[in-house]
Amino acid sequence: MAATLGQIEFFDRAQAMPWSEMAREIDGFLARIGLDFYSFLPIRKGEFPKGDVLRGLKTNYEDDWVQRYCERSYNQVDPVCEMAGSARSPYHWGTESFLGNFEKRQRRVFYEAREYGIRYGFSLPIISADGGVALVSFSSDNRSTLREVIKTEGAMLHMASHQICDNLVRPREPRESEANPLSSREREALAWVARGMTSEELADRMFLSVSAVNYHLGNASRKLSARNRHHAALLALAGGYI
């Protein structure tokens, strides 16, 4: 049975398939886990999107909402986009306590989105080596549903967000599959990254300096054409390199 979105074996398929097929994969993924919507938005150099960047928007939001969002340039005030400029980890949005941190004009974006069933969400910033960000978001009109999905399917959401990004922005370059391109140190470092360890923890575990650990992880990321160490670890797992 073929791998599906959110499974580690899906990485190679994600890179090769046309967007129309990927969009169907995402629809099936959302149906399986019980969420309603997704969106993908490229953000350049850590800043929230301006101008024609919205041409890169991919989503299953209702057309009327997408049209309103674009015509009113809501990306300029949308708190979800603003947070993506500095966030380095996933974040939740949509609750009143979350909205309380923003200005009235920013809250208006959320109040209008609710008319289209977009109430609570979970956004994952995918950060590239050059500082660019792609923001992948999943949302639901039910807060409890979203929280339960994050609790039980959080790892799948992370993998799916990278796979969506791979399909849309990853260069279509063949990756060596016959031989393992990684050195033993690079494989060891990525194996520990896959278990959630930081550079400092890796340094203690591998009897290296932090700078040496970062050097090995940087090399591994370049060899695998990965956006960052976490993406490299996922690709290494998918390729059977670790």
pLDDT at 171: 53
Residue 91's Cβ-side half-sphere holds a number of Cα atoms within 13 Å equal to: 18
pLDDT at 114: 96
List 135's β-bridge partners, or say none. 41, 125
Residue pair 163/172 in contact by the 8 Å Cβ criterion:
no
The pTM assigned to this predicted structure is: 0.75
pLDDT at 131: 62
Q: Quick one: which of 133, 155, 126, 168 has its CA closest to 15?
A: 168
List 125's β-bridge partners, or say none. 135
Task: Quick: pLDDT tens for 61-110.
Answer: 999 999 999 889 898 899 998 888 777 789 999 999 999 999 999 999 99
Residue pair 233/190 in contact by the 8 Å Cβ criterion:
yes
Question: 33 CB contacts (<8 Å, ≥6 apart)?
Answer: 6, 149, 153, 156, 157
Q: Where are the beta strands (DSSP E) in 44-198?
A: 58-59, 91-93, 120-127, 133-140
Q: Quick one: which of 69, 49, 24, 1 has its CA closest to 164?
A: 24
Classified as helix, coil or strand, 65 is: helix
| Pairwise CA distance, residues 208 & 200, whole Å | 9
Place of tokens 């660019």: 132
> Which amino acid belongs to residue 195?
R
Residue pair 102/83 in contact by the 8 Å Cβ criterion:
no
pLDDT at 56: 83
Domains of the chain (ranges, CATH numbers): 8-169 (3.30.450.80), 184-238 (1.10.10.10)
- Please state, as a whole number, how many other Cβ atoms lie within 10 Å of the Cβ of residue 22: 21
Task: Quick: pLDDT tens for 167-216.
Answer: 987 554 544 445 788 988 899 899 889 888 899 999 888 878 899 899 99
pLDDT at 129: 60
